[in-house]
Chains A and B, each alone.
Chain A
């Protein structure tokens, strides 16, 4: 059972890194971006291509995946997203679905629709077990350990940036009230652009990390979009600890559900989400007084 918990936590942290960008842009720009998963997919494919075609080691691919997705995010934010900020939510939803469709079809065209196989380096392929033989108390795949480690570092870094740096306080001010923030001289547009880029970059990194665990094919953005949205809707958009907890909850619930009640599969996750959202429409972990 501890192994399940471990796997769930790894899955949850991965989901967090994937979804945190979405949560922040949603809270910051009040923009529902259903194409977020496309950036994750881009990161994953960048990694696969670099590893397979140019033999670049896995660890090097990760920052490149981040960078590539971030760059794409920055460009798109400037050109396509910005005019959409003031439009009604329905328009934003349709716009981002359109982008997601385009991404899916484009990747399908260039890379084919099969699942991509990720060749992990040797040192990440092992497994450590506590206990032995029949009584395995905890089995930890090294790759999942790696994921947890990387994601934890990233989470700590994010929290640090948010709470201890000037950019972080500008970001938080802009989330709370962008008009007042602009009135105080905070370059809100730049904050938006940078945040969107970083959020997309993180998604890309998540896609690269997650390719082995979640699978990678052109339908990735649509398949996992629901999970990202669950993290954001349940975790709220006014902090990063909210989505973190929501992601962990989701990860553990999904893994445990699939193990104990495989007949029901994703049913449990959806039912849980619906129940939570009916009970607390603003999300589970929102601080009082927040949007």
Chain B
């Protein structure tokens, strides 16, 4: 039997097939250049889903308003590029900082209350921001969206071309970096305390964990990562619109996690890929009725029981350790 130390450390190491996966992913924009745009899209929503996994999967905070941070990051990065400086990396940092600030502010809202209260408050914040963006149309372009965001070259050298290859590699790089960071977080003692808070907040407090401060911290961090995704979205599409705050965005991310499995970061990535592909395939068959099929899928999935279907569940059964 494995000794204690090895057993604890084993889920934290990068497996060889993981490295292979990422190398493969990075090769995609070179191998399939005409698909660079969708690769870019998938990378961005995957990052968003991973950020949601931190709060929903690992800490158990039920939220339907995570898009608040996606949107805030997007608009701030877009405004920065348009009015102050078009450098993408600076804009990314601005987007992240802005979303972090907002996350810290909003973390007050999720500290108390039942699941329903949290649902309402998080949704309320996202809708509030949507209304704000709508009404401040002199700044944000209102319902027309913020247009004409032209980005400077990445690292001073790589122009954002029409094919989207630069965009795809940019987004993939940010995804990998933040994914790697998140991976460190969840496998650390700090990450373990998150799981403790999710599984049993009463006992977590009884072993010395300050539940409110954990909640606030993880919510802020998740907001940062979501803000990064938002900044990428605005920068690579050159555009920011109101729907970035909408309920659908948040719900889509939840759905991706449900598909891919919560509580293991790859769930967000896997879910994003499957969701996007499903969306494209179904939309091309019956364009208006994506909502219906998604609804049916959700209903069936919930009735069957998502634990039994999630890949992370299978992995746990075959490997016998925690992902």
Contact = CB atoms under 8 A, between A and B. Distances in A.
Q: Do A and B come from one complex?
A: yes
Nearest to A102: B295
Contacts of B21: none
B117 A93 contact: no
B119 A93 contact: yes
Interface in B112-126: 112-117, 119-121, 123-125
Contacts of A99: 295, 299
Given A109-B289, A282-B113, A89 B62 contact: yes
B321 interface: no
A163 B210 CA distance: 43
A100 B305 CA distance: 19
Interface in A102-125: 102-106, 108-109
Interface stretch (A134-142, A197-205, A261-269): A261-269
Contacts of B132: 267
A41 to B, nearest CB: 14
B299 A98 contact: yes
A229 B120 contact: yes
Given A104-B291, A264-B135, A98 B298 contact: yes
Given A89-B115, A266-B131, A274 B109 contact: yes
A95 B303 contact: yes
A90 B103 CA distance: 22
B108 interface: yes
B131 A97 contact: no
Given A229-B119, A277-B113, A101 B294 contact: yes
Contact of A95 (B113, B119, B289, B298): B298
B296 interface: yes
Interface in A85-99: 87, 89-95, 97-99
A232 interface: yes
A184 interface: no
A160 interface: no
Given A230-B120, A232-B116, A90 B62 contact: yes
B258 interface: yes
Nearest to A95: B302
A274 B116 contact: no
A99 B251 CA distance: 14
A111 to B, nearest CB: 13
A277 B117 contact: yes
B306 interface: yes
A89 B305 CA distance: 13
B314 interface: no
A109 B291 CA distance: 11
B127 A266 contact: yes
Nearest to A265: B131
A236 to B, nearest CB: 11
A32 B116 contact: yes
B119 A274 contact: no
B297 interface: yes
A274 B1 CA distance: 52
Interface in A223-255: 226, 229-230, 232-233
Interface string B232-256: 0000000000000001000100110
B128 interface: yes
B296 A102 contact: yes
Contact of B292 (A80, A97, A101, A233): A101
A271 interface: yes
Interface in B97-150: 108-109, 112-117, 119-121, 123-125, 127-128, 131-132, 134-135
Nearest to B113: A281
A278 B106 CA distance: 11
A93 B289 CA distance: 21
Given A102-B292, A102-B295, A83 B303 contact: yes
A273 interface: yes
A281 B112 contact: yes
A26 interface: yes
- Give the one of A101, A108, A267 with max B CB within 10 A: A101
Interface of A: 26, 32, 80, 83-84, 87, 89-95, 97-106, 108-109, 222, 226, 229-230, 232-233, 263-267, 270-271, 273-274, 277-278, 281-282
Interface of B: 56, 62, 64, 108-109, 112-117, 119-121, 123-125, 127-128, 131-132, 134-135, 247, 251, 254-255, 258, 288-289, 291-292, 294-299, 301-303, 305-306
Given A93-B119, A98-B299, A270-B125, 11 more contacts: A84-B302, A87-B305, A94-B255, A95-B299, A104-B295, A105-B289, A265-B134, A266-B127, A274-B125, A277-B121, A277-B124
Closest 6 CB pairs of A and B: A98-B298, A101-B295, A281-B113, A105-B292, A102-B295, A95-B302
